[in-house]
Amino acid sequence: MRIAETAIPGAFAVTPRLLADERGSFHESLRADTLERVLGEPFVTRQISYSVSCRGTLRGIHMVAQPPGQAKYVTCVRGALRDIIVDLRVGSPAFGRYHVCTLDAESGRALYIPDGVGHGFLALADDTRICYAMSTVYAPGTQIDINPLDPELGLPWAYSEPPLMSQKDTEARSLAETLAAGLLPDWRKAEA
């Protein structure tokens, strides 16, 4: 597999080597030893979750407060999605910078998203399924949500019709409100 750092420090795009023949294909989605060599630290999965979305569904921008924090390894196992991650670590040289890519079941491409980086996606096909391998388990009250349509973020969702969004995402705070509330992690603490 090929692992390449994105414009966001500590976030990596992972492209597997597909072995295809007349039956279909096979690939390794996650090799902990290979990923850990790049990260310089272990990535231990504590929870695996899936979401299923119809075309035009927009989910995010989500992250987990520190503590407990949460790194994610995400891949699309059916359909396709436009994935966007945003550096939300206060003091990071890339604060507010985002990375956009397409994840789809055919390519097997994945993203490693470090703690302190927000995540969201737009489903590009019906029955789009995303798998999240996470470094911590769900802890009620630790979720931080930022409105994915916040003009200050200016994320290039590129939807052709208004997206389907949860009430939670529609009513989420802006980046400025989240920053003013002191909810975002500090880059120096996240790197320690």
Active-site residues: which are they?
62, 132
Length of the chain: 192
Closest CA to 43 of 74, 16, 65: 74
Token couple for 181: 């509330």
Phi and psi of 28, rounded to 5°? -85, 120
Strands 110-113 and 19-21, sheet pairing: unpaired
What b/e readout covers 169-181, taking b as 16+ CB neighbours within 10 angstroms? Answer: beebbebeebbee
Alpha helices in the chain (DSSP H): 32-39, 167-170, 175-180, 187-191
Closest CA to 13 of 37, 35, 41: 35
CB 154 within 8 A of CB 47: no
Q: Give the 3-state secondary structure percentages of the chain, helix then strand then coil, rounded to 5.
A: 10, 40, 50
